[in-house]
Structure 1
Amino acid sequence: MEIINFTKMQGTGNDFIVIEDFQGKYANLEGLAIKLCDRHFGIGADGILIVTKSNIADIQMIIINADGSYASMCGNGIRCFAKYVFEKKYVQKENMKIETGDGVKLANICIKDGFAESVNINMGKYNFNPSSIPALSKSEIINKKIEVSNKEYYITSMFMGVPHTIVFGKQEEYQVEEGKFIEHLDLFPEKTNVNFCEIVGRNVIRVKTWERGAGPTLACGTGSCASVVAANRLGYIDKKVEVQVPGGVITVEIAKNEVLMEGPAEITFEGEFFLN
């Protein structure tokens, strides 16, 4: 029997299990994530975050979804990760570089009484190119009409660290579970996250997300960023926006061709898991 030390964290309700692995001893991360993220027989989470060494940044984050699939980037996850490595004193910098599957991201820590009160992440560039999403389309997918299960949707798709598809409309018009049908469309060979976005005003939107590999979540950082970018592209909103998600509030700003995201990150509890 192996004992795994872990920290449970959440960012606007999107929850993660943080595990240190500087020696690379966990070879089967897929199986580990499935076991730990099970909310009945494990700890329960939307995914696991592995803390490990980096040769190109201050630290490296590896993300595995609850179903065992790999994710190159996670907005809420990286805020939790930055808080963790700062407060555990692995990286004692207000501005730290974190290696992810989507490249090196810059995290700015807002410190209060020695703790990371909030985290601002430069999420990098967004991309509407279908080959980058990837999507089987010859042109950008902007407000494209599709029909799934006898229901019409107008979708906008892009790459924001991971694939995202946005559907605009009133929140009550859609059940978040409808996202699973869009996720598995042949249009998206590697599947897609799906965000249902309601425009409240020029500076406020509401977003609920069906996450690829996790299902409905209380928040999605990359999804919030993608929703802001898509809504701005369509002329619905300005460039700095409050994003209301079921688990709280995230602030997203488009700066030139990059996206900045700020929001909370909290430690829920720490413990030991007995791995059979």
Structure 2
Amino acid sequence: MVAFTKGHGTGNDFVIIADPDGALELSTEQIAALCDRNFGIGGDGLLRVVRSTVIAEGEGILAEEPEAEWFMDYRNADGSIAEMCGNGIRVFAHYLVRSGLATIEPGSTLPIGTRTGVRDVTRSENGYQVDLGRWRLSGDDPLTSVSGLAVPRPGLGIDVGNPHVVVALASEQELAGLDLHRPPVLDPVLPEGANIEFVVPGEPLVRDGVGRVRMRVHERGVGETLSCGTGVAATALAVRHWAGEGAPDHWRVEVPGGTLGVRMFPAEDGEHVGLSGPAQLVYSGEIALA
């Protein structure tokens, strides 16, 4: 039997398994079974809580930040390895705090290791904020075909530690009419795949100095989810890019599961993007591994 906790951030839900000493080897098939909504616990992904000292990727993490005791071993619902998860890392931090494995004092930062490097988490008014690090335009701007749209639409490739393609839509009706049960098709195909976000601007786009947009997302290895933290960040970055000079650095992004905050700010190595929002733990239990 394996102990687990179920958690979510704006409806983006995860199976959390504590494995501090790295003793548990989970296969792709086992992870997919745990995340299965009909025959398992159900989740958009799995978060394995492991010390950086006992995972292969941890050596580089500790060289970057010796205080990064914990590593977020994140897997998609199909068991595939993912680089990063913006909602997941807030839930991961909340689990560490609630279980007594770490603390985040007011004004302090909790460094967490990920496959994209160390990510710093702090407390925020509505939960937690994570510095997702430096972002970049990937240069991958494929045409995107999706059920519900008559013709392919151009996408903007953005990398926030994992790959995204953001597609602008003309109206709320187009957004509501998308069928994301089937994966959108990119042309050209991206070798590593991508999370694909579909966005419409708010009316007005900017209110009280804050940009406002709505989005839906299809995540690689998962399908449509109620929220995608890195996708929210990518969406805000894309809309700011399209809006041009004078666009704000603070954004509120509505997803089916709630609302998340995004801000862009300067750092020594270039502009970073931060994501803020809630994190909740729902229940705990035990399950037998297949």
Is TM more than 0.5 here?
A: yes
> Which deviates more, 188-197 or 121-130?
121-130
Preserved CA contact (<8 Å) 1:66 1:213: yes
Runs of at least 5 residues in structure 1 that lack an aligned partner in the other structure: 112-116, 136-140
Cα distance in 1, alignment partners of residues 251 and 200 from structure 2: 13
Partner in structure 2 of residue 234 of structure 1: 242
Residue 67 (structure 1) aligned to one of 78, 85, 93: 78
Partner in structure 2 of residue 258 of structure 1: 272
Aligned residues: 257
Cα distance in 2, alignment partners of residues 191 and 105 from structure 1: 23
Aligned residue identity for 1:70: I
Partner in structure 1 of residue 48 of structure 2: 50
Partner in structure 2 of residue 114 of structure 1: none
Aligned residue identity for 1:265: A
Partner in structure 2 of residue 182 of structure 1: 185
Preserved CA contact (<8 Å) 1:182 1:194: no
Partner in structure 1 of residue 36 of structure 2: 38
Residue 41 to residue 9, structure 1, CA distance change in 2 (3 Å): same
Pairwise CA distance, 1:23: 2.4
Aligned residue identity for 1:253: R
Cα distance in 2, alignment partners of residues 265 and 120 from structure 1: 10
SS of the counterpart of 1:275? coil
Preserved CA contact (<8 Å) 1:176 1:210: no
> Which deviates more, 252-261 or 185-194?
185-194
Partner in structure 1 of residue 136 of structure 2: 127
Pairwise CA distance, 1:27: 2.2
Partner in structure 2 of residue 223 of structure 1: 231
Residue 207 to residue 272, structure 1, CA distance change in 2 (3 Å): same
Residue 251 to residue 42, structure 1, CA distance change in 2 (3 Å): same
Residues 83-120 of structure 1 show CA distances to partners (whole Å, capped at 9, x for unaligned) of 00011111123310000011100000249xxxxx6001
Partner in structure 2 of residue 162 of structure 1: 162
Preserved CA contact (<8 Å) 2:31 2:78: yes
Runs of at least 5 residues in structure 2 that lack an aligned partner in the other structure: 54-61, 63-67
Cα distance in 2, alignment partners of residues 210 and 59 from structure 1: 29
SS of the counterpart of 1:42? coil
> Which deviates more, 100-109 or 27-36?
27-36
Partner in structure 1 of residue 212 of structure 2: 204
Aligned residue identity for 1:222: T
Preserved CA contact (<8 Å) 2:144 2:184: no
Partner in structure 2 of residue 103 of structure 1: 117
Preserved CA contact (<8 Å) 1:8 1:15: yes
Pairwise CA distance, 1:28: 3.1
Pairwise CA distance, 1:154: 1.8
Residues 143-181 of structure 1 show CA distances to partners (whole Å, capped at 9, x for unaligned) of x65667862202111111111000111242141518713
Partner in structure 2 of residue 138 of structure 1: none
2:24 pairs with 1:26: yes
Cα distance in 1, alignment partners of residues 135 and 181 from structure 2: 25
Partner in structure 2 of residue 273 of structure 1: 287
Residue 178 to residue 274, structure 1, CA distance change in 2 (3 Å): closer
Preserved CA contact (<8 Å) 2:10 2:257: yes
TM-align CA RMSD? 2.0
Preserved CA contact (<8 Å) 2:181 2:223: no
Aligned residue identity for 1:168: A
Residue 186 to residue 69, structure 1, CA distance change in 2 (3 Å): farther
Same amino acid, percent of matched pairs: 33
TM-score, with normalisation over the residues of structure 1? 0.87
2:177 pairs with 1:173: no
2:89 pairs with 1:87: no
Cα distance in 1, alignment partners of residues 174 and 182 from structure 2: 13
> Which deviates more, 160-169 or 26-35?
26-35
